[in-house]
Chain A
Amino acid sequence: MADTSLARAVRWSASMRWDTAVGALLIVVLLLSFSFVDGFGNALNLSFLIGNTLPIALIALPMTMLVVSGEIDLSVASTAGLSGAVMGALWNQGMAIEAIIPVCLLLGVVCGLVNGLLVTRLGLPSLAVTIGTMAAYRGIAQIVLGSDAVTDFPARYLDFAAGRIGDTFVPYAFLPFLVLLAIAVVALHATPFGRRLFAIGASEEAARFAGVRVKRQKLVLFVLTGLMASLTGVFWALHYASARYDNATGLELSVVAAVLLGGIDFDGGKGTLGGAIAGVFLLGSLQNVMSLLNVSAQSQIVVTGVLLVVSVLGPRVGRQISVARAGRRAASAGPPAPEAPTPAA
């Protein structure tokens, strides 16, 4: 009894350390980049860094909540792509952009709803469901827009999505993101909604027995994720001034990697949004630095993949080491006091 509680305490503190560690690592990477990477520190590059990272960051907000609740959505990049494709197609039809954007967001809600209903009503694993819809949504995007690229969106919107405030490093789009971030942090960490998510992720059955409407809660999350993914799709098309069916391809990998890197436990129930966002910007910074150093796009994907594996392995290995250490301590001949002999066990 004593050793398991000890082990748990160690494990808990290890997981607490992970997100702070990622935050610290982000600062270290930034400082090193400022010092040693040519062109990193100027305001324009930093605004690029932030702007290019925003799609990951936007989707990471609901994705963090999904993973905390023990689910995942791999269809987000396809939803974003579909949203961009529909945006382009409708624009080609001559529809006003002010009308198109709400349609795209609604489409994202529908995409999320389909995922959520398949998971909650049919009880299918979200990993499988969203791999399926990942292909399906991308396919629909291609049907909608073909291989066209729509680029002639109104300048006002393009400027907002790609521009920055004066000569500072802050993109315009960063400000609404900060508002969304604040809302997400509060929702996850300071509301009953967030409490329920952590309970669901840690033990779905116990949450149900405590009166938590698990299915409804998850459905809401999938819908939110779809909504944010389509918003990201709209942003992406404007930011890069190009709506194509294959926009944001592979973005789900970056989002999941960043969220897990930020210390969100893949098994659910643990993590902080702060850690996840630190993970997002760590990944974004690394990608930026690699671009500056002329590392090829393919190699960057390799790095993202490796980070994903490391971020899943890291906390686990750390935990196992701590548990093993705690177990050895419990099994050894005495308390870890200085006078205790260390057994050669």
Chain B
Amino acid sequence: MTHPSDTGPAPVLALRDVSKSFGAVRALRDVSLELFPGEVHALAGENGAGKSTLIKTLAGVHRPDAGQVLLDGEPTVFHGPADARDAGIAVIYQEPTLFPDLSIAENIYMGRQPKRALGRIDHKATYAATLELMRRLGVGLDPGRPARGLSIADQQIVEIAKALSFDARVLVMDEPTAALTGSEVARLFGVVRTLRDQGAAVLFISHRLEEIFEICRRVTTLRDGAFVSSEPLAGMTEDDLVRRMVGRDLAELYPKQEVEAGAVALSVRRLTREGVFTDVSFEVRRGEIVGLAGLVGAGRTEVARAVFGIDRWDAGEVEVDGKALTNGAPSTAMAAGLALVPEDRRAQGLVMDMSIERNIGLTGLRTTVKAGLMDRGAERSRSLDWAVKLQVKYARIADTVSTLSGGNQQKVVLAKWLATGPKVLIVDEPTRGIDVGTKAEVHRLLSQLAADGVAVLMISSDLPEILGMADRVLVMHEGRVTAAIPRADATEETVMAAATGRAAA
């Protein structure tokens, strides 16, 4: 694993044969990594492959059990995150934590603002320094505006600016794009390229393979805590990368089965919620997977929430199997055979502090009852049954769901809803933030459900997923359904055109 140009610069930061265990769990085994200035390096691996541990080792949170951290070629021991920061290593996490009521400049210089006489904060100098940082990053954010209301992409840019203000030479970005839209990703990548061209070494983590290929030059792959490879991306295909990550050929990411569509299961007519979405009508038939595409904020999630009864609608009607649903009543929607796997699994899909068993059991409180009391045996076997069917990886069914990885948490949410035997399943961003192996499993599951006669409505911002899985694609733009595109005609261009309002409906 020599660098392509051996005459080039030496690695600014490197790990050599690093191992790290937590109790009996070997999170990292003999992992090596070299980060060069002026280069974006990808770190790839499934959930639980050891990426987080590696990042925390670089950031000085963990100390390796064996192996070395090399800074400019010299073995170094970080005694804590502050050590790593002082050495010029900055980590940007997926969800930045800014003080919403402070300005961008104040956030960046929190606790170390330039001072004037008598210890007063020099706001002018803070502002000017921040403006200079923004100029270096090539972005036009006003240092004086409060952080509240900034998009996640802009919040990350503020974090990057903060890293820059510490003279960071190594920037570690842990899934920065997971919650970003396409244009925001482009904006973020612009900043990353600027930094790279200024000589920073960037370690980039993402579950979106196309992003890795777009911005990174080399990739290090981990699998189950072990080092797999470290190599240039040039000449690799996405399939090559996936094979290194999962250790086998992935059957297929989009295993869509052809199913004859049956009777209408979900019918939404002229549904309107004032100021949110207008005149939304569509049908989903048994056996069909209907994709609901659109930009973030187009009203897709809001329609799903209203259909399920979380929010009330102002006009229109919703029928499941010909039966009209009550406005604003999730329990009647459930009783009618509707299930919603919500967008935010941590806040909406799961009670994080409750066990796997009880989370799945939460949708069965009407059925796992004997003489008015909980039938614990029935509850447990129902939960076990579905956890096993969906191959959730857990130690004990009584463990809290917060101990599971993101992909396994999502499986618990699916298990919880499939256990209700739904006629109509709405899934909102079903594979966001989960690894490629689990993603394929979720797709296979959705396809199988459709084949079994379930009507599936799939909201997704992942365009390849929509195109790969949907029989029909509905596209929303600014609260209205602007297009219904059959599978044969659905392409990135047609969907994006409708999503951005460029096409006639």
Q: Chain A: residues with CB nearer than 8 A to chain B?
A: 1-6, 8-9, 12, 186, 190-192, 194-196, 198-199, 202-203, 205-213, 269-270, 330-336, 343, 345
Given known pairs A8-B402, A269-B353, the reply for A332 and B374 (CB within 8 Å) is: no
Taking CB atoms and an 8 Å cut-off, the chain B residues in 355-412 that contact chain A are 358, 361-363, 365-366, 369, 372-374, 400, 402-403, 405
Task: Give every chain B residue within 8 A of A210 (Cβ-Cβ).
Answer: 330, 362-363, 416
Leading 5 A-B pairs by shortest Cβ distance: A192-B365, A5-B403, A2-B22, A211-B334, A210-B362
Task: Give every chain A residue within 8 A of B329 (Cβ-Cβ).
Answer: 213
Contact of A205 among B21, B23, B27, B348 (CB under 8 A): B348
Given known pairs A2-B22, A195-B374, A345-B80, the reply for A206 and B350 (CB within 8 Å) is: yes
Contact of A196 among B63, B353, B365, B400 (CB under 8 A): B365
Contact in complex: A333, B347 (CB < 8 Å): no
Instruction: List 18 A-B residue pairs with CB atoms under 8 Å apart, sorted by A's residue number.
Output: A1-B52, A3-B22, A6-B22, A8-B353, A190-B374, A192-B365, A195-B374, A199-B362, A203-B350, A206-B349, A211-B333, A212-B362, A213-B329, A331-B62, A334-B21, A334-B65, A335-B23, A335-B24
* B79 to chain A: closest residue by CB: A345
B461 at the interface (CB under 8 A from A): no
Task: Give every chain A residue within 8 A of B402 (Cβ-Cβ).
Answer: 4-5, 8
* B358 to chain A: closest residue by CB: A195
Contact of A203 among B64, B347, B369 (CB under 8 A): B347
Contact in complex: B358, A2 (CB < 8 Å): no
* A3 to chain B: closest residue by CB: B22
Given known pairs A2-B22, A2-B27, the reply for A191 and B330 (CB within 8 Å) is: no
* A337 to chain B: closest residue by CB: B23
Task: Give every chain A residue within 8 A of B366 (Cβ-Cβ).
Answer: 192
Does more than half of chain B's interface fall in helix, strand or loop, or is it mixed?
mixed
Given known pairs A206-B349, A208-B330, the reply for A191 and B63 (CB within 8 Å) is: no
CB distance from A22 to the nearest CB of B (A): 21
* B366 to chain A: closest residue by CB: A192
- State A83–B402 Cα separation when bound (angstroms): 45
What number of A-B contacts does a CB cutoff of 8 Å give? 108
Task: Give every chain A residue within 8 A of B215 (Cβ-Cβ).
Answer: none
Contact in complex: B374, A192 (CB < 8 Å): yes
Contact in complex: A207, B362 (CB < 8 Å): yes
Interface magnitude class on chain B: 35 or more
Contact in complex: B53, A206 (CB < 8 Å): no
Contact in complex: B342, A209 (CB < 8 Å): yes
- State A203–B362 Cα separation when bound (angstroms): 12
Does more than half of chain A's interface fall in helix, strand or loop, or is it mixed?
helix
* B354 to chain A: closest residue by CB: A202
Given known pairs A2-B22, A208-B310, the reply for A333 and B400 (CB within 8 Å) is: no
CB distance from A16 to the nearest CB of B (A): 12
- State A195–B64 Cα separation when bound (angstroms): 43
Task: Give every chain B residue within 8 A of A3 (Cβ-Cβ).
Answer: 22
Contact in complex: B53, A2 (CB < 8 Å): yes
Contact of A335 among B22, B308, B363 (CB under 8 A): B22
- State A3–B31 Cα separation when bound (angstroms): 20
Contact in complex: B362, A195 (CB < 8 Å): yes
B61 at the interface (CB under 8 A from A): yes
Contact in complex: A1, B351 (CB < 8 Å): no
Question: Which among A4, A195, A345 has the highest number of chain B CB atoms within 10 Å?
Answer: A195
Contact in complex: A198, B354 (CB < 8 Å): yes
B76 at the interface (CB under 8 A from A): no
Task: Give every chain B residue within 8 A of A202 (Cβ-Cβ).
Answer: 351-354
* B26 to chain A: closest residue by CB: A335
Task: Give every chain A residue within 8 A of B365 (Cβ-Cβ).
Answer: 192, 195-196
Given contacts A192-B374, A195-B362, A202-B351, 6 further A-B contacts (CB under 8 A): A191-B372, A195-B365, A202-B354, A209-B340, A330-B62, A333-B63
Question: Which among B48, B79, B403 has the highest number of chain A CB atoms within 10 Å?
Answer: B403
Contact in complex: A9, B403 (CB < 8 Å): yes
Task: Give every chain B residue within 8 A of A196 (Cβ-Cβ).
Answer: 365
* A189 to chain B: closest residue by CB: B374
B331 at the interface (CB under 8 A from A): yes
Contact in complex: B347, A206 (CB < 8 Å): yes
- State A16–B273 Cα separation when bound (angstroms): 45
B504 at the interface (CB under 8 A from A): no
CB distance from B365 to the nearest CB of A (A): 4
